[in-house]
Amino acid sequence: MTDSKYFSTTKKGEIFEMKAELNSDKKEKKKEAVKKVIASMTVGKDVSALFPDVVNCMQTDNLELKKLVYLYLMNYAKSQPDMAIMAVNTFVKDCEDSNPLIRALAVRTMGCIRVDKITEYLCEPLRKCLKDEDPYVRKTAAVCVAKLHDINAQLVEDQGFLDLLKDLLSDSNPMVVANAVAAISEIMESSPTAAQVLELNTSTTNKLLTALNECTEWGQVFILDAISNSTPKEEREAQSICERVTPRLAHANAAVVLSAVRVVMKLMEMLEQTGDYYTTLLKKLSPPLVTLLSAEPEIQYVALRNINLIVQKRPEILKNEMKVFFVKYNDPIYVKLEKLDIMIRLTNPGNIAQVLAELKEYATEVDVDFVRKSVRAIGRCAIKVEQAAERCVSTLLDLIQTKVNYVVQEAIVVIKDIFRKYPNKYESIIATLCENLDTLDEPEARASMIWIIGEYAERIDNADELLESFLEGFQDENPQVQLQLLTAIVKLFLKRPTDTQELVQQVLSLATQDSDNPDLRDRGYIYWRLLSTDPAAAKEVVLAEKPLISEETDLIEPTLLDELICHIASLASVYHKPPSAFVEGKSGLRRVLPPRSQSGNVDEANVTAEVPQQQQPTVIPGADSLIGDLLDMDLGGPSMQQMYPPSVPTSQTPIQSSVAMDLLGEGLDSLLGPSTLGGDVLGGLGDIFGMPQSQSYVPPQEVWLPANKGKGLEIMGTFARKQNQIFMEITFTNKAMQNMGDFAIQFNKNSFGLMPAQPLHIRTPLPPNQSGSTSLPLSTNGPVQKMDPLTSLQVAVKNNIDVFYLSCLVPLHVMFVEDGEMDKRVFLATWKDIPSQNEVQFTINNVQHNGDTVSQKLRNNNIFTIAKRNVEGQDMLYQSLKLTNGIWVLAELKIQPGNPNFTLSLKGRAMDVYSGIHGAYETVLHN
Amino acid sequence: MIHSFFIINNTGDVFMEKHWKSVINKSICDYFFEEQSKCASVDDVPPIIVTPHHYLINIYKNQLYFVAVVTTEVPPLFVTEFLHRAVEIFTDYFQECTETSLKDNYVIVYELLDEMLDNGFPLAMEANILKELIKPPNFLRTITDTVTGKSTGVSGTLPTGQLSNVPWRRTGVKYTNNEAYFDVIEEIDAIIDKSGSTVIAEITGYVDCLVKLSGMPDLTLSFINPRLLDDVSFHPCIRFKRWESERVLSFVPPDGNFRLISYHIASNNTVAIPIQLRHNILYREGSAGKFDVQISPKQTMGKTVENVVLECTFPKSVLNVTLTPTQGKYSFDPVGKVMTWDVGRIEPSKYPGIKGNISLQTGAPIPEANPPLTLHFSISQLALSGLKVNRLDMYGEKYKPFKGVKYLTKAGKFQVRT
Tens digits of residue pLDDT in A397-434:
988 888 888 889 999 999 988 888 888 788 888 888 88
| Inter-chain touch B71–A28, beta carbons under 8 Å | no
φ/ψ (deg, to 5) at B71: -120, -15
Does residue A593 register a pLDDT over 80?
no
Q: Residue A661 pLDDT more than 70? A: no
Alpha carbon distance A908, A885 (integer Å): 14
Give backbone dihedrals phi and psi of B220, rounded to 5 degrees, phi first. Answer: -130, 125
From CA A821, how far away is CA A858, in angstroms rounded?
12
The answer to whether A416 touches A397, Cβ cutoff 8 Å, is no
| Beta strand residue intervals within A476-525, DSSP E | none
The CA distance from B141 to B70, in Å, is: 37
User: Which residues of A are less than 8 Å from B44 in CB distance?
Assistant: 332-334
Q: Which of residues 123-142 of B touch A (CB under 8 A)?
A: 123, 125-126, 137, 142
Task: Choose, out of A571, A587, A590, the residue to mutate when testing the contact with B (most B CBs < 10 Å).
Answer: A571
Confidence of residue A613 (pLDDT cuts 50, 70, 90): very low
The answer to whether A44 and A75 have CB atoms below 8 angstroms apart is no
For the CA atoms of A699, A700, A706, A711, the dihedral, rounded to the nearest 10 degrees, stands at: 100
> In 10 A of CB A700, how many CB atoms?
8
Say if residue A586's pLDDT is above 70.
no
Instruction: Collect the ranges in chain B with pLDDT lower than 50.
Output: 152, 161
Which tens digit of pLDDT belongs to each residue from A99-108?
888 888 888 8
Average pLDDT, chain A: 79
Length of chain A: 927
* Dihedral sign from CA coordinates of A792, A793, A796, A797: negative
Q: Which residues in chain A touch residue B116, judged by CB atoms under 8 angstroms apart?
A: none
pLDDT at A303: 94
- Domain residue limits, chain B: 4-163, 179-270+385-417, 275-379
Domain B179-270+385-417: assigned CATH number: 2.60.40.1170
What SS3 state is found at B365?
coil
**pLDDT digits over A702-743, tens only?**
888 888 888 888 888 888 888 788 888 888 888 887 888 888
Chain B CB contacts of A366 under 8 Å are 315-316
When pLDDT is averaged across residues A459-480 and rounded to a whole number, the result is 85
For chain B positions 16-45, those within 8 Å of chain A (CB to CB) are 16-23, 26, 39-41, 43-44
Domain spanning B275-379: which superfamily? Mu homology domain, subdomain B (2.60.40.1170)
Which residue does chain B place closest to A327, by CA atoms? B191
Q: Which of A660, A885, A144 is nearest to B119 (CA)?
A: A144
Count of A-B CB contacts under 8 Å: 259
Contact A294 B189 (CB under 8 A): yes
pLDDT one-digit tens code per residue, A814-836:
888 888 888 777 887 787 778 77
pLDDT at residue A923, as a whole number:
82
CB contact burial A379-418 (16+ within 10 A = b; e otherwise): bbbbbbbeebbebbbebbeebbeeebebbbbbbbbbbbbb
| Binary contact (A218, B43; C-beta < 8 A) | no
Q: Name the phi and psi angles at B338, rounded to 5.
A: -110, 130
Residue A521 has pLDDT above 80, yes or no: yes
Residue A330 has pLDDT above 70, yes or no: yes
A277 CA to chain B: closest CA distance, Å? 16
pLDDT for the residue numbered B85 = 92
CA distances from A863 to A882, A888, A889, A925, B170 (A): 8, 11, 10, 11, 80
Q: Closest-CA residue in chain B for A260?
A: B75
Are A335 and A294 in contact, with CB atoms under 8 Å apart?
A: no
Q: Which residues pair with A239 in a beta bridge?
A: none
Q: State yes or no: pLDDT of A495 exceeds 50.
A: yes
Residue B374, strand partner residues: B311, B415
Q: Render pLDDT for A129-144 as a digit per residue (tens, 0 to 9).
A: 999 888 888 988 999 9
Strands (E), A750-820: 755-756, 771-779, 792-798, 803-809
The pLDDT assigned to A262 comes to: 93
Say whether A332 and B268 touch across the interface (CB within 8 A): no
Q: Which CATH architecture has domain B4-163?
A: 2-Layer Sandwich (3.30)
> Would you call B74 an interface residue with chain A, using a CB distance cutoff of 8 Å?
yes
Tell me how far apart the alpha carbons of residues A481 and A477 are, in angstroms, rounded to a whole number. 6
pLDDT tens digit sequence for A556-565: 888 888 888 8
CB contact under 8 A, A35 and B107: yes
Distances (CA, A) of A729 to A202, A772, A790, A919, B187: 83, 11, 20, 20, 94
Task: Provide the β-strand partners of residue A719.
Answer: A728
- Answer for the pair B354, B291: CB distance below 8 angstroms, yes or no: yes
Are A148 and A161 in contact, with CB atoms under 8 Å apart? yes
How far is B16 from B8, CA to CA, in rounded Å?
Answer: 7
pLDDT tens digits, one per residue of A120-130:
888 888 999 99
Angle, CA B276 vertex, CA B271 and CA B279 arms, to 5°: 140
Q: Does B204 touch chain A (CB under 8 A)?
A: yes
How much is the pLDDT for B379? Answer: 92
From B142, B163, B233, residue closest to A252, measured CB to CB: B233
Q: What percent of chain A has pLDDT over 70?
A: 85
Question: Which segment of A241-245, A695-699, B232-236 scores lowest on mean pLDDT?
Answer: A695-699
Q: Report the pLDDT value the prediction gives residue A375, as an integer from 0 to 100.
A: 92
- Shortest Cα–Cα distance, A39 to chain B (Å): 6
pLDDT at position B326, please? Answer: 92
d(CA A33, CA A24): 9
Residue of B nearest to A299 (CA): B77
Residue A29 pLDDT > 50, yes or no? yes
User: Is B264 in contact with A62 (Cβ distance < 8 A)?
Assistant: no
> Quick one: pLDDT at residue B162?
53
In angstroms, the separation between the Cα of residue B124 and the nearest Cα of chain A is: 9
Q: What amino acid occupies position B103?
A: K
> If you average pLDDT over residues A651-667, what whole number do you get?
39
Question: Does the pLDDT value for residue A584 go beyond 80?
Answer: no
Q: What is the pLDDT, as a whole number, of residue A261?
A: 94
How many helices and strands, by DSSP H and E, does chain A display? 41, 13
Q: Is B96 on the interface with A (CB under 8 A)?
A: no
The angle at the Cα of A608, spanning A607 to A613, to the nearest 5 degrees, equals 130
Q: What is the DSSP letter of A916?
A: H
- When pLDDT is averaged across residues A57-86 and rounded to a whole number, the result is 78
Among A1-5, A176-180, A511-515, A709-713, where is mean pLDDT lowest? Answer: A1-5
Q: How long is chain B?
A: 418
pLDDT in tens, A382-399: 888 888 888 899 999 988
Fold matches, B179-270+385-417 and B275-379 = yes
H runs (alpha helix) in B163-276: 240-246
Q: How far is B127 from chain A (nearest CA, A)?
A: 13
Among A901, A883, A881, which Cα is nearest to A891's? A881
In Å, how far are A517, A661, A665, A681 from A684, measured between CA atoms? 12, 13, 13, 5
Q: Is residue A40 within a helix (H) or strand (E), and if so which, with residue range? A: helix A27-42
* Cα-to-chain-centroid distance, residue A370: 27
Containing B15, the helix (H) or strand (E) segment is strand B14-19
Asked whether residue A672 carries a pLDDT value surpassing 70, the answer given is no
Q: What is the pLDDT of residue A109?
A: 86
Is residue A11 scored above 70 in pLDDT? no
